[in-house]
Amino acid sequence: MTAEPTRSITQLSQYQDWLEHRSGQRLSDYQSLWHWSVTDLEGFWGSLWDYFAVESPSAYQRVLADPVMPGARWFEGATVNYARQVLRHAESAHQAGRPAIVFGGEGRELGELSWPELAARVAAMASRLEEMGVQPGERVAAYLPNIPETVIAFLATASVGAVWSVCSPEMGPVSVLDRLRQIAPKVLFACQGYRYGGKEHDRSEVVRTLIAELPTVTDVVLVPGAPGMAVDPDSIGAGPRITSFAQASAG
């Protein structure tokens, strides 16, 4: 006697089961689901909005108002904040013992950032950005590696409705300025160095160049690029207001 195969418990299979229960529409394999997704754009994307329970203080009028490219308009009337979507399950995820971020790196032991700590630091940083005068639609740039502070800065930026752009500190000033000049950022998060290949790489001169060449920047938040790396506000010189990440994200 052969056991009947069981369906794998994946997000995709859960969505397919939910869709069948909700609308009676059975899309049992990937090919049929894909075909529906490209032939009924409003039905597919509207179902995903409902399945993931996307939150908006105002209801959307229609899933897709103008199906042309370029110029398509999706979910007009809705107001969605990415940070809110990410953090809305923070308490339940924490109760389930799931960390928000697991991180490591050269000179840094594997560590975890809990959901309550992430939410608190994002809220504190968002308040500081508002104190700096950041308005919805304005730009916040970063010259940072992949570290937890970068995630906190990004989520804080998204939470106040600003636009985020980040460049790796391995990039030189010319390529970074080519990108950031186009968006005219108001705030710059930057590290003055990073650690790679067993060596510390000083980027203080690059940071000074970025500040000098980005006249729209009114505030700079200095972030340690790696454990044990200090920030040196005095080395920046005259210009925008300088603060440390630790001060800006303190609750």
Q: Supply the pLDDT for residue 211.
A: 94
DSSP-derived pairing of the beta strands 187-190 and 193-196: unpaired
pTM equals 0.85
Q: Supply the pLDDT for residue 234.
A: 72
Q: Supply the pLDDT for residue 228.
A: 67
Per-residue pLDDT of the chain (251 residues; tens, 9 = 90+): 454 445 567 889 999 999 999 988 888 889 999 999 999 999 999 999 999 999 999 999 999 998 888 999 999 999 999 999 999 999 999 999 999 999 988 777 889 999 999 999 999 999 999 999 999 999 999 999 999 999 999 999 999 999 999 999 999 999 999 999 999 999 999 998 888 888 887 888 899 999 999 999 999 999 987 766 777 777 777 679 999 898 888 86
Distance CA 145, CA 178 (A): 19
Q: Are 223 and 144 in contact (CB under 8 A)?
A: yes
Which residues contact residue 202 at a Cβ distance below 8 angstroms, ignoring those fewer than 6 apart? 192, 193
**Structure letter (DSSP) for residue 31:** H
Q: Supply the pLDDT for residue 4.
A: 46
Q: Supply the pLDDT for residue 7.
A: 53
